[in-house]
Structure 1
C-alpha cells in the first residue's frame, strides 16, 4: 500500500524540511477536514486513525492532535504519513484500502456490521489494524457500550439485544442502525478482549524478540493503569507478546471494577496484555489499555460537561512507546504467510475462560450505564455536545484562571498573607463559595484563616467561604491572612477551593525563621 495520490505533492514539497510538520488547521467535527502529520522523510506508507466512534467522549481525547499526539508524531518520525478518518456515514473498505495501518483508539460507539465486514476485507487484502481497548465498563459516553465490547462485537449480558436498556430515541438513532451482535473478533482474528479490569501494574512478562517478529526489541517493561487482557481463542491466528505478572489477586484489580477484576491470577492464564494476529494477507495488533498510548495534551473539552480534560503521560512511561511504535512497524510490513502456523515462532494455547465470558452466556454485573448522563447530553446527537468538544459547533467557554501569590517560605510564628487572584472573568462577575486552607501529607490542617470580620477561628481548617468581585478588566483579587501551626515545619500545601472543587494546590515550605522571599506567582495546573 502507498500514500494516497492526493498527498504525494504535499510530501514532495516538504522533503527539504528537517522537522515533522503538523497541520495547523484543525477540524472540530466529522464534516471538517481531518488533521494530518506529514513526515519529513517519507517511507511511502500511511497510517489512518479512526475518529468516528466516540474517541473523544468523556475524558478520552484519543486524536492525533490531542492526547494521542505523542504516539502519532512518533509514527510520523519513522516516515509514515498520519491522518484521521472522519465521515458522517459508515466507513467502507474503500475508505481504508489506501492506508497500510488502520488504528482504532478505544471506540465507544459500536461498529456497524458493514464496518466489521469492511475491516475484514481490508485485512484479508493486506491491510493491518491496531485495536486499542480499555478495561470493562470504561463507558465514556454512557451508551452502555465500552471499548472491549465494541471491539469484540457484542455487549456483555446483552448478546441477544444490543440495544438492551436503551430509550426509544437511542434505539432509533443513526448510531444504532445496522448493529448486530457478533463474535467477529474471535471468529476472524482468534482473540477476544476480556471483561477483567486490572489496576496499576508494571509488567516485565515480555516475550523474547525472536518469538515476536522482533516487535519486543528494546522492550523490557510495560505499564497498565486500569486495563484488560485478551483471551487467545485460536492460537493459529493470535499470539500474546506481553502478559501480566504471575500472582495477581483481587488486590490488583482496578478499584471501581464491577466484578472480581482479576480472572485467573495473572500470568499467561490471565490473557495477553498486548497481542498480534494474522488474517489473510494482513495483520492485527491489540492492547488492553489506552493509558500506555496517551499523553498529557488533550485538545477538546468533555462532550458531556464541557470541562477541561485531564490526561496523562503514558506513552513515555517505561518502554510503552517503543512497544507501540514497533507494533506499527510490524503491522505495516506485508509478509507472505497466511497464519502463524507457517512461521517459526512458538504458538500459544487457548486461554482458559470463565463461563461469564462466553458471548451468549455473558452477564451484566450492574445496570448500565455506570452513571446517569446529564439531561442535556445525548451521546448519539452531536448537537447536544458541550461547547469546545469534538462535534460541537460552539467555541469553549473560557474558564477562570486562579492564582496564589505568596512567600516561598512561610513562617509559623507570625501572620502570613496570601493573595488570591482570579483572571479571565467577565467584568463585575462575582465568584462565590471560595475557601482557602493549608495541610500536610495525610490531610492534617495546619492553618487558621482570618475571618472577614477580622477575628480568628479557634481551630485549624479551611476558611469560611468568601466571595470575589471582578473589576472592569475581569480580574478579582483578595488578600487572605493565615497563621500556621507553630509545631509544624517543612513541606506543606496551600489549597484553594471553589464550590468545594480543588482549583489550586500549591507546595509551600513552613519555617521557624522569618524569611522574606520574592513574591512568587503560582498557577494552578
Structure 2
C-alpha cells in the first residue's frame, strides 16, 4: 500500500506520453469520457467527477488535463481510472463497480438526490474523496463556492440558496436544497478561511493514520481552507497547518474575511482529514493546488483564454500522500466508526458563529465580479470555443509578453513597458486590453499615460490603447506608466488582461529607487552556455549552465538574463524561480548572482522549460547582461518528446511550485 517517494518520479516516466496529450478541439458532457487502463490491474476502479463544473474558470480538474499527474500515478499503482460526465443528476447507478469516487472542487451545487447517492455509496462500502478550495474561489460566478457546495449550504443564504439569482439560474438550481449535509453525513465541515503559501507540517503519526502519513513531512497549501471536525467518532484530521498563523502573514490577499480563524494548528482544523461512513470511508483536503499539475486541457469557458495551472502534485509530499489516501479509501474494513477501534479520537473543532449555517453572513454581495457579457454558467451554448461543453474548436493562441525595467521607480518617475503580441490574425485589432501594477495584497499603484500626454486621476487597470497586428500577426507597443498611491519598495506584480477576468500575463517585478544596480565591467569576460541540444519542446524541465570566465576573483554579476526565442522574436522560455515556482509569461529572466572564484570563473545552473504549444524546429538561446546588452546568441534545435529520446519530463525533479492563476485567485 505504501507509496514510496523515492520511486515516485521513476514510476511516472512510463506515463509521460499519456500526460502530454494535445488539448481537445471541442468536447462536452455528451462525448465519451476518458478511461485510463493500467498495465498491471489491481482490480479496483477510481472514478473522477466531471459533472459539477470541474472545468469552470481556470480549473481543469480532469484526468487527462490538470489532474493527469494524479490520475497517472493511480494508473501506475494498478487502478482503472475513469471520468464521470453527463447532463443528468449523479445517481447510485453511476457509481456501480466503483471503489473510490473523487470529487474535485465542484463549482455547480449537488442536488439533494445526488447527495443521497454519494452518502449511500459510502454507506455501502465505497470511498469518497472530497477536494475543496478556499472561500471566494467561485470560478463560474454562480455565487456558490466549492466549500459551500461540499458542505451543502451557501454562506449567508442558508434559508434561500438561490438568493440574488436570475430566473435562468433558479431554474438550473432546481433540486438544490440547503442542509448541513457534509457535517451530518461525514462528520466534517469545510471552513471559509483562505490560507496562503504555507505547508501543513503537523502530521499525525503513522499508527494513528492507518499508514497514510508514512514518509509524509509536508503538504503544501496555496490559497486553501481547513475543516472543522464536527463528529469525532467518524472524522479525524491527519495533516494540520503550523501554529502561529496570522491574518497579515498567512491569509490569502483577496480573502473577504480575516482568512485565518484560530491561528493555525489544531484549532484551525485539519487541512487533510479522513472519515468512516458505514461500510465505507471518506477523505478530505482543503485545496486543489496540491493535486493539480501544469497540463490543462480545455480553454476557459467564460472568455476562451488559455488556462495556467501549476505543478502542485510534485510539490512537497503531496503526490505520495494523495496516492496513499486512495489506497486507504479503496480498502474495505469491518468497523463502522473510529470509536469502535483502538484509535485516539479528535476533539470537536471550535466554531465561529459565522460558520454555522443559520448564523452565517455573506461578507460582500456575490458574485465577486460581473461575468463577461454573454456568459451564463448554466448554459453551455454560451461557453467559449475550446472549453469543456463547447462544440467549437479553440482559436489559435495569441502569445503575450511584457518587457519592463529591472526596477520600477517608486518615486513617480515615468517608465516604459513594452507589450508584444504574436500569433494574432493579420491586421487583428484588440481594444479592450488594460494593465496595472499592484502590490502583494492587491493594492493598485500604477497609472498609464494617455495619448495626449495627460495622466488619469485614479490608480488600477487602465487601457493600454489599441493593439493592431501587422500582416504577420505581430504587434508591439510601448506604454508609459508611473507609480503612486502610497507605493512601497519591494516585490510587486504587473498584469495585462484582455477584458475583465481574462488575465493573459502576470509578471513579478521589483519596485525600488528606479536605478539598476551598477555592475562591474565585464569587457574581458568570456561567456559559455551548456544545455541539452536538442531542447525538449514538451514543457519538461531541463538545466542550463551559465559560465563566465575572465572575471576578477570575487566579482559578482547579478544582471545576467537568459531566454530562448524562435523566428520573429517570440520568446518561448521560462526560468524557474528560487522558490520553485514558475513565471506565467515567457521572456528574459534573471539567472541570479554569478560570483567568480579565485580563478575568475563563475557559473550558475538554472532550470528552464519551453512553451509546449509552440510549433518550431529551430530557435535561439541568448544571454544578455542588462537590457539590450546581448553577449551570446546560439542556435538550438527544438524537438518534442515524440521526436527525441531526451528524458527530462515534468516528473524528473521534486521541486517546489507555487502560483496557480485564476480570476479570483493568485488559485486555485
Which whole-Å deviations, capped at 9, do the CAs of 1:193-226 have from their partners, x for residues lacking one? Answer: 0111111112210101110000001101111001
8 Å CA contact retained: 2:212, 2:324: yes
Structure 1 partner of 2:73: 74
Distance in 2 between the 1:198 and 1:45 partners?
Answer: 35
With over 3 angstroms needed to count, the CA separation of the structure-2 counterparts of 1:475 and 1:421, relative to structure 1, is farther
How far is the alpha carbon of 1:485 from its aligned partner?
8.0
Confirm whether residue 228 of structure 1 aligns to residue 225 of structure 2.
Answer: yes
Distance in 2 between the 1:146 and 1:170 partners?
Answer: 15
Structure 1 partner of 2:240: 243
Distance in 1 between the 2:161 and 2:177 partners?
Answer: 7
Structure 2 partner of 1:211: 208
How far is the alpha carbon of 1:38 from its aligned partner?
0.7
| Gaps in structure 1 of 5+ consecutive residues | 1-17, 406-418, 436-463
With over 3 angstroms needed to count, the CA separation of the structure-2 counterparts of 1:259 and 1:522, relative to structure 1, is farther
Distance in 2 between the 1:488 and 1:297 partners?
Answer: 40
How far is the alpha carbon of 1:515 from its aligned partner?
6.4
Structure 1 partner of 2:483: none
The 5 Å alignment of 1:113-132 reads 113-132=112-131
8 Å CA contact retained: 1:135, 1:197: yes
Distance in 2 between the 1:230 and 1:479 partners?
Answer: 48
Structure 1 partner of 2:139: 140
Instruction: Give the TM-score taking structure 1 as reference length.
Output: 0.80
How far is the alpha carbon of 1:431 from its aligned partner?
7.1
8 Å CA contact retained: 1:20, 1:76: no
With over 3 angstroms needed to count, the CA separation of the structure-2 counterparts of 1:491 and 1:468, relative to structure 1, is farther
Instruction: Determine helix, strand or coil for the equivalent of 1:216.
Output: coil
Which whole-Å deviations, capped at 9, do the CAs of 1:375-418 have from their partners, x for residues lacking one? Answer: 2100000111111111011111112346899xxxxxxxxxxxxx
Structure 1 partner of 2:95: 96
Instruction: Determine helix, strand or coil for the equivalent of 2:215.
Output: coil
With over 3 angstroms needed to count, the CA separation of the structure-2 counterparts of 1:476 and 1:242, relative to structure 1, is closer
The 5 Å alignment of 1:162-311 reads 162-173=161-172, 176-251=173-248, 252-311=250-309
Distance in 2 between the 1:512 and 1:92 partners?
Answer: 60
8 Å CA contact retained: 1:493, 1:505: no
Instruction: Determine helix, strand or coil for the equivalent of 1:518.
Output: strand
8 Å CA contact retained: 1:403, 1:521: no
Distance in 2 between the 1:468 and 1:228 partners?
Answer: 43
How far is the alpha carbon of 1:420 from its aligned partner?
9.7
Structure 1 partner of 2:28: 29
8 Å CA contact retained: 1:403, 1:522: no
Distance in 2 between the 1:111 and 1:323 partners?
Answer: 27
With over 3 angstroms needed to count, the CA separation of the structure-2 counterparts of 1:125 and 1:248, relative to structure 1, is same
CA RMSD of aligned residues (A): 3.4
Q: 1:389 aligns with which of 387, 393, 397?
A: 387
8 Å CA contact retained: 1:58, 1:140: yes
How far is the alpha carbon of 1:19 from its aligned partner?
5.7
Structure 2 partner of 1:506: 588
Distance in 2 between the 1:307 and 1:512 partners?
Answer: 30
Distance in 2 between the 1:262 and 1:146 partners?
Answer: 18
With over 3 angstroms needed to count, the CA separation of the structure-2 counterparts of 1:45 and 1:375, relative to structure 1, is same
How far is the alpha carbon of 1:507 from its aligned partner?
2.4
How far is the alpha carbon of 1:424 from its aligned partner?
3.0
Distance in 2 between the 1:510 and 1:329 partners?
Answer: 51
Q: 1:491 aligns with which of 544, 549, 559?
A: 559
Distance in 1 between the 2:475 and 2:252 partners?
Answer: 42
Instruction: Determine helix, strand or coil for the equivalent of 1:356.
Output: helix
The 5 Å alignment of 1:436-515 reads 469-471=469-471, 474-476=472-474, 488-489=518-519, 490-491=558-559, 504-507=586-589, 509-510=624-625
Instruction: Determine helix, strand or coil for the equivalent of 1:285.
Output: strand
Instruction: Give the TM-score taking structure 2 as reference length.
Output: 0.63
Instruction: Determine helix, strand or coil for the equivalent of 2:351.
Output: coil
Distance in 2 between the 1:420 and 1:364 partners?
Answer: 39
How far is the alpha carbon of 1:290 from its aligned partner?
0.4
| Gaps in structure 2 of 5+ consecutive residues | 1-13, 404-417, 435-463, 479-513, 520-557, 564-568, 571-583, 591-623, 639-668
8 Å CA contact retained: 2:467, 2:475: no
Distance in 2 between the 1:365 and 1:434 partners?
Answer: 30
How far is the alpha carbon of 1:40 from its aligned partner?
0.7
Structure 2 partner of 1:378: 376
Distance in 2 between the 1:247 and 1:522 partners?
Answer: 50
